[in-house]
Amino acid sequence: MIRFENVVKRYPGEATDAVHNLNLEIESGTICMLVGPSGCGKTTTMKMINKLIRPSSGAILIGGRNIDTVDTIELRLSIGYIIQDTGLFPHMTVGENIAVVPGELGWKKDRISSRIDELLDLVDLNPKAFRNKKPNELSGGQKQRVGVARALAGDPPIMLMDEPFGALDPITRARMQDEFLRIQEKIRKTIVFVTHDVEEAIKMGDTIAVLKLGQIVQLSSPMEILSNPSDPFVSELIGGRNSLKMLSLMRCGQIMKTLSPAEVEEARGSPQGILGMKATAQDALSEMLRTGERFIFVEDERHDVVGVLDFENLLERVNRHGITS
C-alpha cells in the first residue's frame, strides 16, 4: 500500500503549492489513476513516490514505511517507472535495456537472459526477433512495450506510469491499454498511472483521483465518478456521454440474468447474439443493434450459454445510477 499523508510540494520561488495537502491511499494490487488538466500536479505527485521530487512537508509511506527512511537506490529498484518517451537507452539493445535493473540487483547471467525472453513474450514481442534490436529500429508502440518490459524486469511491486501511452496513435494506444490490463490481471502490481485523458482513466482505473490545482477533488471508482461526479469540475471533465461510458464499464457476466437448465435448452439454437462473460454491456448493446433483437445470450469460457441480458435490463442499470444524458 502507498499512502500520502498531508503531502505538500511547493517549488522554490513559487507563490502557490504544486501539490496541496494531499491525502491518498493506494491499495496493493490496484491501479490508481491520477487524472486532471495539465499543470494540476499529477507528475509532481508521482515523482514524490520514487523520490525524484522531495515533498516540502508531509509523509509518504510504502507498506507502512516512511520512504524518507528507505535508501533511494533500494527504493527505486523496487519501483518500475514508465514515461511517455520511454527513456530507453539508445545505444543499448532491447535485451540490454531490459537487463539493466536485474543486473543492478545482481542476478546471474542466465537468469537475466531467460527473464528477457519471458518479458518480451509477456508484452507480445517475439524474443528472437527483438532482443538484439536497437530502440531506433522500433515503432512507437514497440518501444512502449519494451518500456513496460524494462520496468517489470526486476519484478517490482510498484509501477509508476506517467502518460505512458500519450504519444501513441489512438488505435495503438487502445491496444496497449487492453494488453496492459491483461498483463495486470496476471501480475497484480500496485500501479499509479498519470493521464490527462479521462477516457483512459475510466478504462484503466480501479480508483481515480481527480486533481485540480494540486488537490484531489474526487477520489472514487470509475463508475462512481461517472454516476456521481462530486463537483462541476468533475462533471465538465467527464463530459456528457455518461450512459455509454457506464455501459463500457459493466461486464456481461456481472449483470446478466442466469438461466435455468430448461431455459438454456430453450436458448440452444436460437439466432440471437452471444457474447462472453467479459464482454461489456456496450458490446451487448452493439450486438442487439446488429441482430435487431432486444436481448443477447452470455456464454462461459466453454461456450456454454449461462445467462441472458436484455435491453430493459441495461436501461434499468443505467437509470439506477441516475444518468439521463
Ligand X SMILES: Nc1ncnc2c1ncn2[C@@H]1O[C@H](COP(=O)(O)OP(=O)(O)O)[C@@H](O)[C@H]1O
Residue from 1, 25, 39, 68 that binds ligand X (CB under 6 A)?
39
With CB under 5 A as the contact rule, which of the stretches 9-17, 18-26, 38-46, 153-161 interacts with Mg ion?
38-46
- 44 near Mg ion (CB under 5 A): no
Is 316 in a helix, a strand, or coil? helix
Looking at 41, 55, 80, 229, which residue binds ligand X (CB under 6 A)? 41
Interacting stretch for ligand X, rule CB under 6 A, among 10-18, 171-179, 267-275, 307-315?
Answer: 10-18
The binder of 195, among Mg ion, ligand X, none, by C-beta within 5 to 8 A per type, is none
Q: Which three cell numbers stand for residue 83?
A: 514515461
How many Cβ atoms from other residues are within 10 Å of residue 150's Cβ? Answer: 27
* 14 near ligand X (CB under 6 A): yes
- CA 103/CA 158 separation, integer angstroms: 19
CB of 107 to Mg ion, least distance (A): 32
CB 116 within 8 A of CB 57: no
Which among 167, 172, 122 has a CA at the least distance from the CA of 149? 122
- Whether residue 46 contacts residue 2, with contact meaning beta carbons closer than 8 Å, is answered with no
In degrees rounded to 5, what are phi and psi of residue 194?
-95, 135
Identify the residue whose cell numbers are 494540486. 214
What is the DSSP-derived secondary structure letter of residue 18? S
- Residue 97 interacting partner from Mg ion, ligand X, none (CB closer than 5 to 8 Å by kind): none
- Work out which of 38, 69, 260, 324 binds ligand X, going by CB under 6 A: 38
Question: Of residues 7, 17, 35, 43, which one binds Mg ion by CB under 5 A?
Answer: 43
Whose CA is closest to 146, among 94, 185, 81?
A: 94
Sequence-distant (6+) residues with CB within 8 A of 217 are: 210, 211, 230, 231, 233, 234
Phi and psi angles of residue 214, each rounded to the nearest 5 degrees, phi first: 80, 10
Instruction: Provide, rounded to whole angstroms, the least separation between the CB of residue 194 and Mg ion.
Output: 6
Residue written as grid cell 520561488 = 13
Nearest distance from residue 49's CB to ligand X, in Å? 13
Part in contact with ligand X (CB under 6 A); list of ranges 41-49, 101-109, 124-132, 266-274: 41-49
107 by Cβ neighbours in 10 Å (0-12 / 13-18 / 19+) ranks as middle
Q: CA 280, CA 248: separation in Å to the nearest integer?
A: 5
Q: Select from 11-19, 88-96, 276-284, 313-321 the region that touches ligand X (CB under 6 A).
A: 11-19
Tell me if 55 contacts ligand X by CB under 6 A: no
Residue with cell 496541496: 20
Exactly one of 22, 24, 26, 40 binds ligand X (CB under 6 A); that residue is 40
Distance, in Å, from the CA atom of 231 to the CA atom of 220, rounded to the nearest integer, reads 13
98 vs 204 by CB, closer to ligand X: 204
Alpha-carbon span 30 to 218, nearest angstrom: 17
- Please identify, among the stretches 39-47, 152-160, 174-182, 255-263, the one whose residues bind ligand X according to the rule CB under 6 A: 39-47
41 binds, among ligand X, Mg ion, none (CB under 5 to 8 A by kind): ligand X
51 interacts with ligand X by CB under 6 A: no
CB nearer ligand X, residue 20 or residue 175: 20
Interacting residue ranges for ligand X, rule: CB under 6 A: 11, 14, 18, 38-44
Interacting residue ranges for Mg ion, rule: CB under 5 A: 43
